[in-house]
Chain A
Amino acid sequence: MEGVKGLESDLEAMRQYFRSGKTKDVAWRQSQLKGLLSFIKEKEKDIFKALKEDLGKHHVEAYRDEVGILTKSIKFALHGLKEWMSSKKAKLPIVALLSSAELVPEPLGFVLIISSWNFPFGLSLEPLIGAIAAGNTMVLKPSELAPASASLLANVLPTYLDSSAVKVIQGGPAVGERLLQQKWDKIFFTGSARVGRIIMSAAVKHLTPVALELGGKCPAVVDSVSSSWDTKVTVNRILVSKFGACAGQACIAIDYILVEKRFASTLVELMKVMVKKMFGENPRETNTVARIVNEQHFLRLKNLLSDSAVQNSIVYGGSMDEKNLFVEPTILVDPPLDAAMMTEEIFGPLLPIITVSYIPVISFYLYTCILQELHPAIIKKTRLDKVEDSIAFINSKPKPLAIYAFTNNEKFKRRMLSETSSGSLVFNDAVIQYAADALPFGGIGESGLGKYHGKFSFDTFSHYKAVTRRSFLTDFWFRFPPWNDYKLLLLEGTYKSDYLGMLLVILGLKRRR
């Protein structure tokens, strides 16, 4: 491993390379994006292999969640690049007479991308696309917990790109720490809130802006008013986005479900049938569900289930294969709310279902009802609004990266929109928001800060420089001291775009109060 000195001089060379201006060139950016595309295309088999090795991902899943989405994103960036790079004209007030203003996007400089192990290609290259499109030089540190993927990225990716501008550095926390001590123009991090705090604290030293893509407990609210077809679609969508996306090891995976009690058993029965149909009797053998990344995470999940009350709430699955690091898709109904299962992000194939009538203790609304001695009218209302009590439940927890709601109830949709807060909100589906280029992807509060995807990725790695141009032709003579009330009136007029008022002043027809 190279020493600190070696690292520092390497990084300085990259900074120097940025200063040469080469990366600002549109042709350079295009060629790099094309290089990235060739890497994905030509090394598809190797990528599938690495993902299989690191996480036991089925190659179709790998294509759907990583290779395919990346292909789409690179093409989108190539298509939009020239438009994104062009400066935007801005309107001007009269005081800036005979001037023009525009917004010119410029690259930030030298950026650091630290990615995560659960989608080792997706979460490394998606921000990389933005950093390249914006014209930066960059270092990517893939996660050491997905070693096969990291080594593919480190050894093969640079051969497709301009290696003086894009460097992949492998390593664990020690390397990460050393990288964090350097001066960057932006740090883009995907991972946990705990490390997110470390990253932001390190960024303070050089006043480096950060983007933190974290996670949180993303709830899915299931309403009971749906027809049987809708219910079936709902269950399909829930199952695939929980167990089918890296076995629930995804920051936007559904963490838990909120459902009305009377609907819970219907839902659970349907889930049991569908989960078998979708993933087979033995999902490990059919390879339809990914494995747990490593022993540490396996034990963490095992621990979540170890509590006897939690154990008793299992209604489906629950078996664990420590040798193969495989956890069966598991469904639980009403585990205790103070169990680790419901206080920590699960990040694995365990799906607790919380029934809403179980919630009254937490629901402020219901609490008030009890205080009001169970006024009949209110009781009637609470029964109608039961699924809406999920809002109080969600709001009692930190803001999640995503909220999902399966419902046809327009009023409930509106309430979810305005009364809950999350990075994204999806009605009647889950996880698909990740694939939408037109939507900003990113968290709020504990689920992160900063956003990317599509044009937002370009923006996240760009500085929008405000440029105002003037000619020497004209100047309002009253712009200059010595000051008097006459000048004041005229200046006020220009700032307010009050042409008539200015005319009156000049004609001597208007005076200050």
Chain B
Amino acid sequence: MATKEEENTVFDVKAANVLTQELRDVFASGKTRSYEWRISQLKSIVKMCDEHEEDIVDALRLDLSKPQLESIVYELTMVKNSCALAIKELKRWMMPEKAKTTLTTFPSSAEVLSEPLGAVLIISAWNYPFLLSMDPLIGAIAAGNAMVLKPSELAPASSALLAKLLPEYLDCSLIKVVEGAVSETSALLEQKWDKIFYTGSSSFLGNGRVGRIVMAAAAKHLTPVVLELGGKSPVVVDSGIDIQIATRRIIVGKWGCNNGQACISPDYIITTKDCAEKLVDSLKKELEAFYGKNPLESKDLSRIVNSNHFARLTKLLDEDKVSGKIVYGGERDEANLRIAPTILLGVPQNSLIMKEEIFGPLLPILTVSKIEDSFDIIKSGTKPLAAYLFTNNKKLKEQFLMSVSAGGVVINDTTLHLAVHSVPFGGVGESGMGSYHGKFSFDAFSHKKAVVYRSFVGDASLRYPPYTLGKLRLMKALITGNFWTILRTLLGMS
């Protein structure tokens, strides 16, 4: 029976409208602008993390079979760190920045003030359902906004947990969670927001597709957006390096990060023909050391999120020109949604696996005759979120930095930059727009208001009509900063 209550709980455009109106009303009271409100919310998040560590780990295990260590290190600890940094730095972040004023506007003083944007919408992804929800939320709170979080419906346990915990710990008049899928998201996107922050799991329907929907909805209200997307992040492996260390760092970034289901995990490797064999051997050896002889049983690997994604990945593997290229792994267990770490050597560039973002435990290796040729392969695709290079060659490093454009670049490691709060995290081109982490999160959710203070003294009449030649001359002198001309003009000598 379709009860009345059920009908009422449908989250439609009208409900979304009521919700944003409520948020705006409370925001207008100015509550979020105070330092105290922001700090109290941030502290509550830390408390929530501490008190519900087990629940969060459990939810992540339910959604993704995520190993406990990964959940704690990459999600909980990262969230707590973000909070700790924000709590420590908030006063400094909130301080207006003094700006230098020039002769033309003299005498005056100026500053840049960070003010909250208003009501913001955060749409997060399923692969790091906790981190990717809380990390932007922390930025939005630190900047003093009212907000709605829409966690991904593809990680239902985490979504439900967030919807339960956030109202318990945070000010629910200003921080709301809306659970749901496409229709709920569309209802939210119809509303006017002051910022939309979207993290897109690369979907098999085409990366950036949802990002485009979000931006199109934002255009109606001239809402600025942050889009955290993905892309095919390449790893270039040069010869003459410590291959074991390189391999280990690649493995941790690829399979050690949610079994390849991370936006910055290595998507493919490019190496020289001579190097390839050594690299494959090393990968095999280390993978076995890490995950054992039967990786399908390993507790240290996440599973594939759902059967859609499982089917997408097997399709990539089963393509005719690809299936013969598997040199390691390839085992799958459909019932448990598990795919073993798989390495492919020499896949053609026109294959599906090289065209789409993989977002799973498959790692193709391309070979080139000269390592510099890898740059052209990377540049022929869209700009990735991350690009990795393993080399000891200084010149190659600089060349790589100059010619490869990506959200972030890591030399001699992978995924490490995610944990670095002093650099912005975000994409460029197809890998997204806008950035966050640390102070950059605060900035992403702040408006930088330019403020000028002038006094009534020292008014230069040269600004005002009637316009004369003398005024023009003096203005020119002021702008070109020619002291003698200024003096001469003022003295009426020129």
Contact = CB atoms under 8 A, between A and B. Distances in A.
The answer to whether A binds B is yes
Contact of A445 (B67, B69, B194, B242): B194
Contacts of B246: 472
Interface string B56-87: 00000000000111101100011011001000
A204 B212 contact: yes
A429 B463 CA distance: 12
Given A207-B212, A427-B452, A92 B407 contact: no
Nearest to B78: A495
Given A197-B220, A488-B68, A428 B408 contact: no
B466 A286 contact: yes
Given A60-B471, A233-B456, A204 B215 contact: yes
Interface stretch (B98-106, B152-160, B307-315, B353-361): B98-106
B472 interface: yes
Interface in B84-111: 84, 99-102, 104-105, 108, 110
B187 interface: no
A95 B77 CA distance: 12
B417 A423 contact: no
B240 to A, nearest CB: 11
B448 A466 contact: no
Interface residues of B, number: 109
B449 A422 contact: yes
B480 interface: yes
Contact of B465 (A102, A193, A279, A467): A279
A52 B296 CA distance: 77
B151 interface: no
A335 interface: no
Contacts of A288: 465-467
B408 A488 contact: no
A99 interface: yes
Contacts of A152: none
Interface string B425-461: 1001110111100000000000111111111100100
Contacts of B84: 496
A2 B300 CA distance: 61
A437 B411 contact: no
B251 interface: yes
Interface residues of A, number: 109
Interface stretch (B112-120, B126-134, B175-183, B331-339): B112-120
Interface stretch (B165-173, B270-278, B322-330, B397-405): B397-405
A433 B450 contact: yes
Contacts of B110: 433, 436, 438-439
B194 A93 contact: no
Nearest to A214: B222
Contacts of B417: 101, 466, 468
A10 interface: no
Contacts of A279: 465-466
B413 A495 contact: no
B241 interface: yes
Contacts of B425: 466
B108 A432 contact: yes
Interface in B1-48: 28, 30, 33
Contacts of B416: 95-96, 99, 468, 470
Nearest to A44: B476
A470 B410 contact: yes
Interface stretch (A355-363, A382-390, A413-421): A413-421
B456 A488 contact: no
Contact of B219 (A58, A200, A395): A200
Leading 9 A-B pairs by shortest Cβ distance: A60-B467, A466-B423, A200-B219, A438-B99, A90-B422, A424-B450, A466-B408, A439-B450, A483-B69
25 contacts: A69-B479, A96-B419, A101-B423, A104-B409, A197-B222, A207-B430, A244-B464, A278-B466, A395-B28, A417-B451, A418-B115, A423-B449, A427-B453, A436-B101, A436-B450, A439-B450, A444-B447, A466-B407, A466-B425, A467-B401, A467-B408, A471-B412, A479-B252, A481-B252, A483-B67
